[in-house]
Amino acid sequence: MNEKMIIVGAGQAGLQIAESLRMEGFGGAIELLAGEKLPPYQRPPLSKAWLQGDLAEDRLFLRGAEALAAKNIDLRLGAVVTEIDRAGKALRLADGSTLAYSGLALAIGARARRPAFPGADLAGVCVLRDMADAREISRRMDKARHVVVIGGGFIGLEVAATARKRALPVIVIEELDRLMARAVTPRLSLFFADVHRARGVDVVFGARVAALEGRDGAVTAVVTATGQKFPADLVILGIGAIANDQLAAAAGLEVARGIVVDSCGRTSDPQIVAAGDCTVFRRDDGKMLRFESVQNAVEQGKAAAAALLGREKPFHATPWFWSDQYEFKLQMAGLSEGFDICVERPGSGGTFSLFYYRDGRLIAVDSVNRPGDHLLARKLLDAGVSPTPALAADPTGDLRALLR
């Protein structure tokens, strides 16, 4: 068989596509191109367990070259693709070489959003997207005296929690009026603001950063638009991510804040699929959704691999996410946007879950240290089963019985 599948990007999504191709019975050549000089590794622990020193670096790796070779998957490290020649079905690489493909998958991830304000390029100003970023932050935390996190989203708050665990003074500056405002409801925003403040984090709301000051090329302070000045020798930018869709756009593929794909991971070119953080999913109703999660990378990767082989395996599972901050694990199932009723299901020791409804139908559940509720919520949402709000709010109510 002369067919060759090439996967650009060796993160969670790229790895899943490669292994799923083999599981689907594809017997041709598979090349997995890693832009970094590292084999596939987990990224969520970089802001949490690894940065805290609770997880050894070698435990981050998902597969090594030998494990992939055993599946006849050729892993190429440091292979950066600069151009897709769709007409010639070939890739051009930064080293000047070309690679022909019969099927192509793009799993090229996302990059950290960087602000345009003065001083953003000073030493000590960091983002967190990959291993190199995490190593740099860890190295600087060893000597830091004043840590400022710009942005109160998941990444920023996870790094803030890690810095406090390392006994560093931390300030979180959020332009909006609450934490994680784009992802969670006010009840959770307030809960986690209280959690961080109780552990010594200075949380500042409604503050827009105007500039970073420095001396001898290194950051020394964060200055807001109202003139507030916060000393800083380590600044973490946690203001979101941008899908890496430039390569696809230059090749003429449809992009819209990400590479546009259908439920099977197909792009506007039927011979090219995409999966993971670089994509935006067009629903049947035309609405565009973009998810950054391990679940999305894995399930979208499975669907994309099948699509490369001409098979239909659409990904329709309930989206789920999580964040670890101190001893609290926030687990989210479904999308709460547009809810009209929210009820709280209390647990012991301050744990709880929030059940969200729209037009009488359960649409999402957010849980804090309630893993059983989270797993049950995913099953309920996948099955389209909605407990009444009264039943959901009753901690003795048997929600599992609804699935039997």
Per residue in 334-350, pLDDT tens? 999 999 999 999 999 88
DSSP states of 344-367 as a string?
EEE-GGG-EEEEEEETTEEEEEEE
Token pair 């060759």 is found at: 4
CB-side neighbour CA atoms (13 Å) of 99: 26
Per residue in 199-257, pLDDT tens? 999 999 999 999 999 999 999 999 999 999 999 999 999 999 999 999 999 999 999 99
In whole angstroms, give the CA distance from residue 288 to residue 219: 38
- Could you tell me the residue ranges of all domains in the chain? 4-111+242-308, 114-239, 327-403
Q: Do 4-111+242-308 and 114-239 share a fold?
A: yes
Q: 318: which DSSP letter?
A: P
Fold annotation for 4-111+242-308: FAD/NAD(P)-binding domain (3.50.50)
Q: With contact defined as beta carbons under 8 Å apart, do 177 and 234 qualify?
A: no
Q: Which residues contact 70 (CB under 8 A, 6 or more apart)?
A: none
Average pLDDT, 10 consecutive residues per value, the chain (404 residues): 90 98 97 96 95 92 94 97 97 97 97 94 97 97 97 97 96 97 96 98 97 98 97 97 97 97 94 97 84 94 97 91 96 96 94 97 98 97 96 95 92
In whole angstroms, give the CA distance from residue 354 to residue 381: 14
Query: How many Cβ atoms from other residues are within 10 Å of residue 89's Cβ?
Result: 17
Considering only CA atoms, which of 304, 313, 312, 314 is closest in space to residue 103? 304
Q: Which CATH number fits domain 327-403: 3.40.50.1100, 3.40.50.300, 1.10.8.60, 3.30.390.30?
A: 3.30.390.30
Top CATH class of 114-239 equals: alpha beta
Considering only CA atoms, which of 287, 303, 285 is closest in space to residue 295? 303
User: CA-CA distances (angstroms) from residue 131 to 7, 41, 143, 282, 401?
Assistant: 20, 9, 19, 31, 44
Q: Which residues contact 394 (CB under 8 A, 6 or more apart)?
A: 345
- Supply the pLDDT for residue 121: 95
- Supply the pLDDT for residue 287: 85
Q: Does the reported pTM lie above 0.75? A: yes
- Supply the pLDDT for residue 56: 93
Share of the chain above pLDDT 70, in %: 100
